[in-house]
Each structure stands twice: as structure tokens, then as C-alpha cells.
Structure 1
Amino acid sequence: MSDSRIQSQAVRVAVLFIDGVGIGRKDPAVNPLADRDHLLSWFQDAPVPALPHGGMGLPVDPTFGVPGRPQSASNQTAILTGDPAPVLVGGHVLGYPNTALKDLLAERSIVRRLKAAGRTATFANAYPAPYLDALGVPRRPSTSPPEFTLSERHARKVRPSAAKLAFAAGGEALRTLDDARAGDGLTHDITGDAARAHGLDVPHRTPGEAAALFWRIAGQADFTFFEHYLADEAGHAQDFTAARLALDTFDAFLRAVAATRPSDARVLVCSDHGNVEDLSVRGHTVHAVPMLYFGPSAPEVASFSTVADVGRAVIRWLGAN
């Protein structure tokens, strides 16, 4: 299929990013996905399961051939630039982008490149305004009183993720909890329950309601990004209860997103590295990660090999460079 044909079909592209989910053993003693029939319940030495709604999937490499365990900062940068970030910066980078990754995101962010090509992009997640202010990233106006006050010491400790830097590089203002309350933003936990448990005033939504809101948000932009990182947190904590809750919620949300996908939309689902699929250890794994696609025919997806192919596909489908 020619690039022009691909672009004419791709009116909208969405990426659902879930942190820390790899392809592990089908062992319920260590893998909370082993006793679940989730869209991300993929297992080693087993074929990729059939996906509903015409979806397709394949395992992709999170290591880029770089020694060591893949990490969030470098692999999320790879997803959001389409570049092999661990190779370019000489190793896997923990947690939050360092100076080299920040520079790469500032120059190569897919959000920046899409907007330079006349496309629009939006980050569906909504965050507390004081948190975004402490990060120093652009945000939408908030008329509500601040949800909390960060001391100068705590404000200095918060650091932006690759996604926030990618959108900041494109000058895209991030959503606040005012947007979540107004029905124009999603909390990272999908339902809002985790945010409410921390005392934040946000509405409760079922995964199905969150999916409907996601598509309303995605209707406003060519590219929409959503990130969910509770599975990775549960993996580091080796917490089966938290892992199952996070994975169950994400699966219900993903199924609803796929079931209600507009015909002109392409959806990519990916992780950055493994973790939660092996709760016998606290750290990340070197396992392959699942990549899922829902949308019009896209045979090129079958050639994806690393997590960076997600960002490259967004750029190609939306006609940027």
C-alpha cells in the first residue's frame, strides 16, 4: 500500500500506552495475566492470541540490542520520537529523561513534527495544575483552587516524563483536573478511583464511560495519546492485588475503545518494557512486549520490530517527517 493511500485513510491516530507489561510465562504464581483472558494476556512459547474487532498484534523488542534491562525514560522516548533512543544515547535510562533524552525529545518529538506538518495533537490525560506547574510544562488554564501546594523542596524533586516533554516540545498545553471534571480529560487510572483515593476531586467513570470520553477527545485532534502506568507501579511493588486491578481496568477500557473505534481512526497499543508479567522480581524484564493495532488494513504493521516503530507509524500515517 502506498504512503499516500495510507495517509488518506488515517484521519486520526491514537496511541494507548501502558507502562511495564511484557510477555511472560503462563504461570499464575508470578504472572497476574496468567489467569486472565485479557487482550494483553500473551505468553511465551504461545501464539499471539486472536484479537476482536479485526485487531492484529505482534511482539516487539524493547532492548534495541543494548545490554541491560530496558527502562522507561529511554523507551518512552523511543515511542514518542520513533528513534532508537537507547542506541542514540548509549544505554537504557531509568525513570525520567536525562539531558540527552530531553534534547532528543526537544528535536524529534512526534508531537513537534506533527504540528510542524500542520497536524493537531492532544494528550488525553489530565493532571493537577500545581504538579504541571512544578514540572514547568505548558498547561491549560485552571480556574479551580489549587488541589495542593508543593513545597519548594518537593517541587524541585518532580520531573517530567517523556510524554510530557514530547507534548511540551510541540507547544501543546496539557489538561488539568478542571478538564477532567468538565468531561474533557481522563485521569491516568481511567476510572478516577485512584485519584479520588488521594483526595483529588475528579469524577468516577466506568471504563466504558472513559472510552466514550476518550473518543470525544480524540475527535478534536489528528493524534491522541493516553498513558497508564499503574501496572508498572504494581510490578515494582510485587503487588498482585494492585496489578490485577490495574490490568483489569485497562483491559475493560481497551476493549471499549476498540469496540467503539470510529472507522477513520487507527489505534496502536503498546508498552515500553516488561515488568508486571513477572512479580517474582521487582525490576524490569528483557521480555518482548505486546503491540496491538486496531483500524483499517495496515499490512506494514506486521513488519514492526521495536517499540520505536509505534512513533514511526504515527508520523508516516499522518504525513509528517
Structure 2
Amino acid sequence: MRSRIQSRAVRVALLFIDGVGIGRKDPAINPLAHREHLLSRFQDAPSPALPDGGLCIPVDTTFGVSGRPQSASNQTAILTGEPAPALLGQHVLGYPNAALRALLAERSIVKRLRAAGREATFATAYPAAYLDALGVPRRPTTSPPEFTPSPEARRRMKPSAAKLAFAAGDVPLRTLEDARAKDGLTPDITGAHARAFGLPAPERTPEEAADIFWRVAMGADFTYFEHYLADEAGHAQDFTAAHTALDIFDAFLRAVLATRPADARLMVCSDHGNVEDLSTRGHTLHPVPVLYFGPPSPEVEALSTVADVGRTVMRWLEVE
């Protein structure tokens, strides 16, 4: 194991992975049943023990609202600490609607952390042209935009809950220029997915990405990273893509854990199930695993829904 990185400012790190629930250990439908990943958690079979005294808490994604849990409303729940689907009386797919945007603008945990004097940072880096099309604040760049979206493409581009949560806190987002300078990570971790689309993304191993992650987190109280390729594989019912996404994320997570500063609290969470059941293209009603690594915390064992993840971040950082 590599030596742990020393940190003065790291408090809480949250790794978000879209679309990973707790399903059956059935290799015919569940890619996680083929592996002993840290996220290989099952309803009907024992799961591998977590290293470093880690805990896994299954949490609800439905909030008692009928229908399938969706990304926009549940990611809003995570990033506000509020039961967004219950407040709206519905699950909202894709990107936040007007009601969710208003909730994020008012109750974003990033906004509240910043108001309390805490530093928050988004470790994921995106093309500057994409962030400009979304209309969210970003870091300045010296290189020209990677592409020029057409008016039609620009109309289709909408910000995710995480981008709106950080925009509400006035935190400029990282660009691919930051990723190339080893000050940010592409959503796919290695950069291969971005490069396949012709984007100037750096090439990284999961271990190199973990080193960059903690370097980014050194000056922040709260650090957030998002990864969405597992959800895309679930919608495509693509075992190969699912294995690739989950294998890379697991290698990254293990490297992040191996170099976790002793005082840092690391959580891993998802918003809803999907990739654990490739017999369907849709999201599942399954609970999702919240993994925790860090000092003892009674708050973790009390987690009930995905909204409790955001609330717990606030409690740990002593923000009401």
C-alpha cells in the first residue's frame, strides 16, 4: 500500500456513481456478480468484506413516491439533503426541471457550506465549450474552446444537479485544461471515453487519477466527483460497457481508499439502481449502497434515504 497523503484541509470526499443499486447475485443479469468489487453488494448473498473498516449502508431511493427513481430528483436530494421526489410528488428524469432548479438554488449543500465559510470543490472536469453552453461558471482557460456546439445541440444541453449545486455556491467548475494540468479528472477517470469523442483529455491510470483526486481535495473541506458511465451501460444493457465502467471505478476507488488521509471521511453513493439488472433498460426500485470509510460515525449507520447523504456531509462539517 502506498503511503497516505498528508492533508491539512480535507474533511469530506464524496464519490458519486450514477445508476448502481443492490440487486440479486445473478450473473445472467448483474455485472457486479462477476466481480468482487467494493460495490458488489447483493440482496440474496453475502457481499465481500470492505477494507479499512468500511461500512455499507443500503438506502432507499423511492421516497415513497410511485414510479421509478430518476437522476434529476435523486441527485437533487443528495446535493440538497432534501427529499426532492417527496417534495415534488414525482420523480424527475434526466436534468432538473424548474422546481428542482429552484430547490438547488436555495438549498444546495455547496451554497450552504460556502455561506458557512467552508471550501467546496468539484473534482470532475468538463470541456469549456460544454460548460459555456450550460451557462454555469467555470475556471478561465488559455486554450480555445474544444468545439462550437450548433444552436440545436446547445438547446439540448442542460446542466445536471451537481453542476447547478456548485453554481448555486458560486464555485467555478474545472475544464479539460485543468485536467491536463493534473488539477481535475474527466468523468470517465482514465480519459479514454473523452478521447474517443475527439476531446483533448489526458490519459490516466486509475491510480494516477486517485493521486490527482487527493491533490485536488487538499485545499477543500468538501470534494465531489461524479461518474456516470455505469448508468449509460445499464440503459444500453451492455455487459461489456458495464464491466469496463465498473472495473475502472473500482480500481480508482481502491486507490483513493489506499491513500485516504487518516482524518478524511470518504463516502461513495449512487442515486438509483440500474446497472445491477441488465434484464431491463430502466432504473430499478432497489436500494443503493452507501459506502463509508473514515473515523467512526454514528450518522452513517442512521442513513435511510439518498437525501441523508447530503445531510450527513453538512453535519460532519458542522453546518446547520
Q: Give the Cα–Cα distance (whole angstroms) in 1 for the partners of residues 51 and 262 of structure 2.
A: 15
Residue deviations 1:213-235 (CA, integer Å, cap 9, x gap): 00000001110000000000000
Residue deviations 1:153-183 (CA, integer Å, cap 9, x gap): 2111100000000000000000011100101
Structure 2 unaligned blocks of 5 or more: 1-7
1:159 match = 158
Q: Give the Cα–Cα distance (whole angstroms) in 1 for the partners of residues 46 and 97 of structure 2.
A: 37
2:3 match = none
Asked if the contact 2:40/2:47 (under 8 Å) is kept, the reply is: no
Segment drifting more, 178-187 vs 291-300: 291-300
Structure 1 unaligned blocks of 5 or more: 1-8
Question: Residue 18 of structure 2 aligns to which amino acid in structure 1?
Answer: D
Residue deviations 1:73-106 (CA, integer Å, cap 9, x gap): 0000000000100001111000000000000000
Q: Give the Cα–Cα distance (whole angstroms) in 1 for the partners of residues 118 and 298 of structure 2.
A: 24
Structure 2 residue 189 is matched with structure 1 residue 190? yes
Asked if the contact 1:10/1:266 (under 8 Å) is kept, the reply is: no
Q: Give the Cα–Cα distance (whole angstroms) in 2 for the partners of residues 210 and 131 of structure 1.
A: 22
Q: Give the Cα–Cα distance (whole angstroms) in 2 for the partners of residues 47 and 278 of structure 1.
A: 18
Question: Residue 140 of structure 1 aligns to which amino acid in structure 2?
Answer: R
User: By how many angstroms is 1:299 displaced?
Assistant: 2.1
Structure 2 residue 37 is matched with structure 1 residue 17? no
Q: Give the Cα–Cα distance (whole angstroms) in 2 for the partners of residues 14 and 292 of structure 1.
A: 12
Q: Mapping of 1:92-241 within 5 angstroms?
A: 92-241=91-240
Asked if the contact 1:10/1:265 (under 8 Å) is kept, the reply is: no
2:241 match = 242
User: By how many angstroms is 1:121 displaced?
Assistant: 0.3
Secondary structure of residue in 2 paired with 1:267: strand
Asked if the contact 1:48/1:58 (under 8 Å) is kept, the reply is: no
1:4 match = none
2:5 match = none
Residue deviations 1:28-66 (CA, integer Å, cap 9, x gap): 111111110000101112345421011111111001111
Asked if the contact 2:71/2:95 (under 8 Å) is kept, the reply is: yes
Segment drifting more, 47-56 vs 113-122: 47-56
Question: Residue 257 of structure 1 aligns to which amino acid in structure 2?
Answer: V
Asked if the contact 1:273/1:287 (under 8 Å) is kept, the reply is: yes
Quickly say closer, same or farther: Cα 1:275–1:58, change in 2 above 3 A.
Answer: same
Asked if the contact 2:13/2:224 (under 8 Å) is kept, the reply is: yes
TM-score (ref. length: structure 2): 0.96
Q: Give the Cα–Cα distance (whole angstroms) in 2 for the partners of residues 299 and 49 of structure 1.
A: 22
2:4 match = none
Q: Give the Cα–Cα distance (whole angstroms) in 2 for the partners of residues 30 and 232 of structure 1.
A: 14
1:305 match = 304
Question: Residue 186 of structure 2 aligns to which amino acid in structure 1?
Answer: T
Asked if the contact 1:274/1:289 (under 8 Å) is kept, the reply is: yes
1:318 match = 317
Question: Residue 56 of structure 1 aligns to which amino acid in structure 2?
Answer: L
Q: Give the Cα–Cα distance (whole angstroms) in 1 for the partners of residues 200 and 256 of structure 2.
A: 25
TM-score (ref. length: structure 1): 0.96
Secondary structure of residue in 1 paired with 2:56: strand
Secondary structure of residue in 2 paired with 1:293: strand
Asked if the contact 2:111/2:169 (under 8 Å) is kept, the reply is: yes
Residue deviations 1:167-218 (CA, integer Å, cap 9, x gap): 0000000001110010101000000111111111121111011001000000
1:65 match = 64
Query: Aligned-pair RMSD on alpha carbons?
Result: 1.2
User: By how many angstroms is 1:10 displaced?
Assistant: 9.1
User: By how many angstroms is 1:259 displaced?
Assistant: 1.1
Quickly say closer, same or farther: Cα 1:48–1:108, change in 2 above 3 A.
Answer: farther
Q: Give the Cα–Cα distance (whole angstroms) in 2 for the partners of residues 11 and 208 of structure 1.
A: 19
Q: Matched residue pairs, number?
A: 313
